[in-house]
Structure 1
Amino acid sequence: MTRLPASLAALALIASFSASAQQFDDKFRQLEEILPTPTDTRTASGAPGHAYWQQRADYTIRASLDEAKRAVSGTETITYHNNSPDTLSYLWIQLDQNMFAAGSDNRSTVTYPSRDAWVSGRTGSGPSGANFDTARYIFASREFDGGFKIASVTDADGKPLHYAINQTMMRIDLPQPMKPGSRLSLKMAFSFNVPETKVLGRRMGFERFDKEDKNDIFEIAQWYPRMAAYYDAHGWQNKQYIGDGEFTLEFGDYDVELTVPADHVVAATGVLQNASSVLTAAQQKRLEQARGATRPVVIVTQDEATAAEKTRATGTKTWRFKASNVRDFAWATSRKFIWDAQGFQQGGTDVLAMSFYPKEANPLWEHYSTPAIIHTIQNYSKYTFDYPYPVAISVNGPVGGMEYPMLSFNGGRPTKDKKTGELTYAKRTKYGLISVIIHEVGHNYFPMIVNSDERQWTWMDEGLNTFMQFLAEQAWEPNYPSNRGEPRAIVDYMASRGQTPIMTNSESVLSRGNNAYAKPATALNVLRETVLGRDLFDFAFKEYAQRWKFKRPTPADFFRTMEDASGTDLDWFWRGWFYGTDPVDVSVDGITEYQISSKDPEVEKKWQKAQHDLEPVSLSDQRNKGKQTYVDQHPELKDFYNEHDDFTVTNRDRNKYNESVAGLEDWEKALLKEGKHLYLADFSNIGGLVTPLILEIQLASGKKYIERVPAEVWRRNPKKLTKLIVTDEPMVSLVQDPYLETADVDTSNNAWPRRVKPTRLELFKAQREQAGDMMKDFKEPLKKADANKAAE
């Protein structure tokens, strides 16, 4: 430990000390060099500008399911509103079913990272699973007659319109350009074969129950030609649908009639308009009861669904749905569906939460699906806005998890016990179901209402939604086993080399789950808990959701709004977490103790003697101890200095001290008497991502406290810094990031003195010894019980 001079200038120098960098990399430079220039449609604050506009598309659709052929056919009328200031000479339409067509980019660009990966089923861009499943996918994709068959494209009067199809995009050439503020209607007739989900995959399809009851569950999405988005920041979003970049759509009203076998039950976006035509009197009564129920009411019972499975109706029924101000429409149908519902109020909206599932999903789904819907909406609304739609639906079928307005497809079922035949579920299955329902229902907020461009930025819907999912999971029950959100859960990925920045186009992302879901969710959790704090973050996040509900934000709008509403410069955070791939890895390199010299000889020389006494005695002095010296033989040579050592206080020392303190102010004299302990702690930023320091300081008395230092401490040198720490008593240890809240990838260098981590062998030994002790405690009562039994 070093004794410091009392100079206040010296103290100021220590407090601001930071090692100079040879090559300065400003991690805190502004993002304006990257972000687009603000405009009158998107302001510098991140809010929609006074001239913000967006297009609109309304749909009237009439469609039928041919169950035997597993095919859908239909007609649609699209009324397109040109709210832009631009004149449009052509329109772009999404034909997403064409990804299943032979020769599509989705099929032809399937790649494998290596031959071993193909053999093992660990694929790159393509299906996952065993080699047999991979081969089945390849052969089925060649044989399946997929994609839209477009029978006609006409104007409102039935006159043919010229069009050109480029894989998953159709361009319609207009005979007269659309002026700003105008609208037009066009009609199309289309059909397509429904792919088998487990074979060809991708967000929709059918599931066959050949071994059980020869029935199918159909989950139908991306099923009608849809208007591509046209907006100020991008123009036409007509990037091809390859599979990962999802959908960018316009809001509108839907009037949809779906004709299906008469014994089918249909779940769909929107509100059922003709319950009296498609439900029995008893089912209609149950549906009305559900609206005011406090727990789910079964509309179509398991007995009714089981009875329907055994027969085949000869006719059809048409279900009609209407939905207002939604960006898409999806549906599911099967005679296998059990249907339950429960009403609740969210803000000023009466919402009906509904679940549709086969008997194979019970007892899991009847217990958890509808309650999970209600829980999701209640929690998401708290952080964003009130749920605006009248229904929210969860459907169990072949799709593991996919979202559409008011409707979600969710996987997860019990398994049949081989001995008893009973359906049971594991803990992982239970929480997996709750989580996927929270996630997919939560997508109603992002991107179904906060309408980001999924084709370009996967993280803007998946990342934000995964973060919200984490908050909802933690509100479900204590110690909920969340897979994503906690910083410690992303450490392995952050430490890996195969990363792409979060700000990577959807089709170019590597490790989609980590990059687009987990990392942005973790980043927002770090921003909320560690950087901003909950109050500032929650206000800013809610402001973003409120500003951009029913509008189309870009990443810049999110970044700018979070800074604007929190009053915090976060450019360093976005740059590191979203534009970079560096991890957090802060090392505590060393600590040196200092104390302010009081100049008082009575104090200082006593302290110096104490320090001297702590120093080891040299080997020579140890061996010379006890030997008689010359002065010992001639004591008359001894004087004052033989009687007193260097630590004796003299009058000269006292006089000098009195002279030095005579000119000090009272507050300076008080500071000298406090006896504060000063430590210079050296830190290295090994990972490269700047982060706040969270320092757990332990004092000699055993007291621990946390000192939080903002990330700006790295602004003068992002690689190394020295931080002054002042304590009232001696510090015995310091730990950086004690709660694992920054996703630090190497905690072995986070403590000073260094902490030795036990090896796996040592951990095993400790656990075995602990288990042995527990068994001793456990066996003793057994012995006593056996003895008592013998005595009886």
Structure 2
Amino acid sequence: MRKKCYLTGLLCSSILLLQAQQNPGSNHGNRFEQLGTMLQTPNMYRSASGAPGPKYWQQRADYEIEAQLDDENQKLTGSETVTYFNNSPDPLTYLWLQLDENEHDPKSESQFFDENKMSGKMTMYDLRTILPVNQELGVKIVKVTDESGKALPYTINQTMMRIDLPKTLMPGEKFRFKVGWWYKMSNRTVEGGRGGYEFFPEDKNYLYTVSQWYPRLAVYSDFQGWQNKQFTGRGEFALTFGNFKVKMTVPADHVVGATGECQNYKEMLSPAQYQRWQKAQSSKEPVEVVTLDEAKNAMAGKAKATKTWIYEAQNVRDFAWVSSRRLVWDAMAANVEGNKVMAMSYYGPEAYPLYRRYSTKVVAHTVKSYSKHTIPYPYPVAISVEAANGMEYPMICFNYGRADKDGTYSEATKNGMIGVITHEVGHNFFPMIVNSDERQWTWMDEGLNTFCQFMAEQEWDNNFPSSRGPAHKIVDYMKMPKDQLEPIMTNSENIIQFGPNAYAKPATALNILRETVMGRELFDFAFREYARRWAFKHPTPADFFRTMEDASAVDLDWFWRGWFFGTEPVDISLDSVKWFRFSGDPVATKQAAKEVYDKGLDHIARQRNKASGMKFAVDEDTSLQDFYSKWNRFEVTPEDKAAYEQFYNNLTPAEKAVYESKKNFYELTFSNKGGLVMPLIIEWTYTDGTKEIDRISAYIWRKNENVVTRVFVKEKQVASVKLDPLRETADIDESNNMWPRETAPSRFELFKSTNAVRGASTGDNPMKKAAAK
């Protein structure tokens, strides 16, 4: 029987962690053991190397969709014809489809999914899980038929719909069916959710971000069968690749941007707009296809007539679109690995000061950066839409980035906008192309994408204040109480600190792998190999772990075990530093012995007795003094000199060279207080002010995971030693990283937490203050 719970939740993760303790009573034999049965067993579909096996397969679903947007009633009506290809070796008697809009249905379990509480001050967003749910929301299925129009039986279970097939769909066969549906769109700013509308009271217009909007085939895979986990608003989705032909009928003054390429721009655009679109095809700067003035003019009226925009997309797993009369649209051609990609942005007047300058250029930069680190971007367009949001779909994403009414903005808003555009555009690679299952393993798309986002941000600006990726920025999360933590390998719905766990910690882990554990050359080759192997396929965590090792020849099981399967933090303490030098020279030997002897005699009573002028018995009565009273026990005698000469003359030439070098030997002892083993990165500061860094592999912990000692030979005398000087390992307590110990000042701020749109950043606005002067 296939084990369905392959790491799908915290319970499974906990069980596997317990099983992983091979030698629980010992100080070794646990953290460096191979993952073994913690990973799925290789087979003909998925190889032990992490590559797709010789009999790998995946399903396909093609869609022909027609949709009508009712701008008066915020209602979407649609019909689709789906062609489903059974490429699996299994006969299928039913199909599962996702109805994500049922997240808003009053009876959906997502309405009761989390606890809620009252406080002294509540916003409407706070009350969304308390007040009665809008009874009109949720998908209304009109019909489900086969290609000829014969009704098919279906069952709706919250956000999933099962269609029972009229006959078994055998391997290699395909089945065409039709679905008709409609739903009232939700107000994203009130009811939340990924798609919906935003109303602008000043001009009484709507912005529609239409996503997760049509009945979509769930994934049927070799590793779990049907992915039919309910959509509750957090774990996003996993879908089947296919081709799309979509017709969207909207008010005639609306502008539509969507997944894929528009097939009828010439009919949809004015001659001037179409001419600008043609110009944008070769422009290296963004060209306004729809200008700000045109958008403002459209906002002043509401067309009664409609237009139908036609888009097609090949080999994508989803389709999303934006529609509004209040959109500026700019575009430019980006050269990505020799291919032309149209980088584009759609945004309202309130976002114009930021988006006109930055958005499309950030889109182009992102696809170039990601292409360098993964695979060349394969699609013809990449779109950023300003929608006070942060959500991704193939070739199109919804972001935030609005200026104040006077056109100024804070630096935090600017950097936050650049970061969220980079992140959401980057999702084209993970998971839109490397199609991992977001419902099961959020980190496989959010974590990998956040890591690539970090690299792209740093390539954008060397001073970019990336909030996720640098090791020291995950410390506050990793030092939290254990009852507030869970392994990265935890199902989305079971995570408490979702952002740190699913985004920041895996991104940090990958950055540490690249910069500290593997090195850039080995890491980059292996990471690109993973993207190449699993582009347009359905990878699992085991495929990623195995590929990274297979392509680099680096055993990383200890790293996956600690960072992805565990909750232990990094806290390595530099406990002691002992200094040794060669002895043998009788003068130096006797002097060192004298220092030790004198130190042993010294104590506080002796010092105070002497300071008080006390008369000692042996001084007042000299008859008490004998040979030893005047004997110099540390005098260098002829015998000492003769012994030294004999010792020196018996040294081999190699021994003499070492001895005469006067090298310094430093014995350092480290203890693993946190539990998570990591490399030792040691910075030496010498008495002459120079510095040097030594790097010791994490394997030094393999025979004792608690305490290790290592001797270092140095030409110069050491003034101080510092562990992890560049803050590479996410050590949660840096106070025990130094010798001699140093005390660092701590600071704190009192701040007020506020709600913000998904992915947004705020901050002080010096631009506004400067403009006011």
Return the TM-score normalized by structure 1: 0.86
In structure 2, the partner of 1:267 is 257
Determine whether 1:499 maps to 2:491. Answer: no
Deviation sequence 1:684-725 (CA, Å, 0-9, x none):
211111111111112222222111111111112222222222
Letter in 2 for 1:351: V
Query: Which structure would you say has the larger Rg?
Result: 1
Contact persistence 2:281–2:332 (CA under 8 A):
yes
In structure 2, the partner of 1:478 is 462
Contact persistence 2:28–2:702 (CA under 8 A):
no
In structure 2, the partner of 1:119 is 119
1:159 to partner: Cα distance:
1.6
1:732 to partner: Cα distance:
2.1
Q: Equivalences for 1:229-378 in 2 at 5 Å? A: 229-378=219-368
In structure 1, the partner of 2:175 is 184
Q: Equivalences for 1:518-537 in 2 at 5 Å? A: 518-537=504-523
Q: Equivalences for 1:606-617 in 2 at 5 Å? A: 606-609=591-594
2: CA distance, partners of 1:25 / 1:225: 50
In structure 2, the partner of 1:690 is 677
2: CA distance, partners of 1:488 / 1:624: 58
1: CA distance, partners of 2:737 / 2:444: 33
State the secondary structure of the residue aligned to 2:561.
Answer: helix
1:656 to partner: Cα distance:
3.6
1: CA distance, partners of 2:666 / 2:420: 49
Contact persistence 1:349–1:389 (CA under 8 A):
no
Contact persistence 2:288–2:330 (CA under 8 A):
yes
2: CA distance, partners of 1:62 / 1:136: 32
2: CA distance, partners of 1:120 / 1:545: 49
1:631 to partner: Cα distance:
12
1:674 to partner: Cα distance:
2.3
1:38 to partner: Cα distance:
1.1
2: CA distance, partners of 1:734 / 1:652: 40
Contact persistence 1:677–1:729 (CA under 8 A):
yes
1:136 to partner: Cα distance:
4.8
Determine whether 1:66 maps to 2:70. Answer: yes
Letter in 1 for 2:197: F
In structure 1, the partner of 2:397 is 408
Determine whether 1:383 maps to 2:370. Answer: no
Letter in 1 for 2:423: H
Change in CA separation of 1:144 and 1:397 when aligned onto 2, cut-off 3 Å: farther
Change in CA separation of 1:426 and 1:714 when aligned onto 2, cut-off 3 Å: same
State the secondary structure of the residue aligned to 2:684.
Answer: strand
In structure 2, the partner of 1:565 is 551
Contact persistence 2:85–2:175 (CA under 8 A):
yes
2: CA distance, partners of 1:459 / 1:552: 14
State the secondary structure of the residue aligned to 1:475.
Answer: helix
Number of residue pairs aligned between Structure 1 and Structure 2 = 718
Q: Equivalences for 1:62-141 in 2 at 5 Å? A: 62-112=66-116, 115=117, 118-119=118-119, 130-136=122-128, 138-139=130-131
1:653 to partner: Cα distance:
3.1
2: CA distance, partners of 1:426 / 1:350: 34
Q: Equivalences for 1:318-717 in 2 at 5 Å? A: 318-398=308-388, 400-416=389-405, 422-497=406-481, 498-597=484-583, 599-601=584-586, 603-609=588-594, 619=607, 645-660=632-647, 664-717=651-704
In structure 2, the partner of 1:770 is none
1:666 to partner: Cα distance:
2.5
2: CA distance, partners of 1:478 / 1:660: 59
Change in CA separation of 1:547 and 1:179 when aligned onto 2, cut-off 3 Å: same
1:342 to partner: Cα distance:
0.5
State the secondary structure of the residue aligned to 1:566.
Answer: coil
2: CA distance, partners of 1:249 / 1:756: 53
In structure 2, the partner of 1:48 is 52
1:626 to partner: Cα distance:
11
2: CA distance, partners of 1:288 / 1:175: 49
Change in CA separation of 1:120 and 1:616 when aligned onto 2, cut-off 3 Å: farther
Percent identity among equivalent residues?
Answer: 51
State the secondary structure of the residue aligned to 2:119.
Answer: helix
Change in CA separation of 1:348 and 1:396 when aligned onto 2, cut-off 3 Å: same
State the secondary structure of the residue aligned to 2:551.
Answer: helix
Return the TM-score normalized by structure 2: 0.89
Deviation sequence 1:532-554 (CA, Å, 0-9, x none):
12122111111111111111111
Q: Equivalences for 1:147-162 in 2 at 5 Å? A: 147-162=138-153
Letter in 2 for 1:505: N
Letter in 2 for 1:145: E
1: CA distance, partners of 2:295 / 2:587: 93
Letter in 1 for 2:554: T
1:753 to partner: Cα distance:
1.2
Root mean square deviation, CA, Å: 2.5
1: CA distance, partners of 2:40 / 2:472: 33
Change in CA separation of 1:528 and 1:615 when aligned onto 2, cut-off 3 Å: same
Deviation sequence 1:558-614 (CA, Å, 0-9, x none):
1111112221111111111111111111122222222333x3435533544566677
2:37 to 19, 23, 33: 33
1: CA distance, partners of 2:624 / 2:703: 64
Letter in 2 for 1:353: A
2: CA distance, partners of 1:475 / 1:314: 47
1:302 to partner: Cα distance:
1.0
1:162 to partner: Cα distance:
1.5
2: CA distance, partners of 1:681 / 1:714: 14
2: CA distance, partners of 1:144 / 1:630: 105
Contact persistence 2:396–2:425 (CA under 8 A):
yes
Deviation sequence 1:412-470 (CA, Å, 0-9, x none):
20122xxxxx2221111111111110000000000000000001011100011111111
In structure 1, the partner of 2:136 is 145
Contact persistence 2:238–2:439 (CA under 8 A):
yes
2: CA distance, partners of 1:290 / 1:152: 43
The gaps in structure 2 that reach 5 residues or longer are 1-23, 749-773
Letter in 2 for 1:106: S
Deviation sequence 1:599-648 (CA, Å, 0-9, x none):
3435533544566677776547886999997998999x98xx99983333
1:740 to partner: Cα distance:
1.4
Change in CA separation of 1:613 and 1:247 when aligned onto 2, cut-off 3 Å: same
Change in CA separation of 1:67 and 1:138 when aligned onto 2, cut-off 3 Å: farther
Change in CA separation of 1:644 and 1:74 when aligned onto 2, cut-off 3 Å: same
Change in CA separation of 1:756 and 1:305 when aligned onto 2, cut-off 3 Å: same
Contact persistence 1:291–1:344 (CA under 8 A):
no
1: CA distance, partners of 2:302 / 2:629: 116
Contact persistence 1:151–1:189 (CA under 8 A):
yes
In structure 1, the partner of 2:207 is 217
2: CA distance, partners of 1:642 / 1:296: 94
Contact persistence 1:353–1:370 (CA under 8 A):
yes
1:55 to partner: Cα distance:
0.8
1:476 to partner: Cα distance:
1.3
State the secondary structure of the residue aligned to 1:171.
Answer: strand
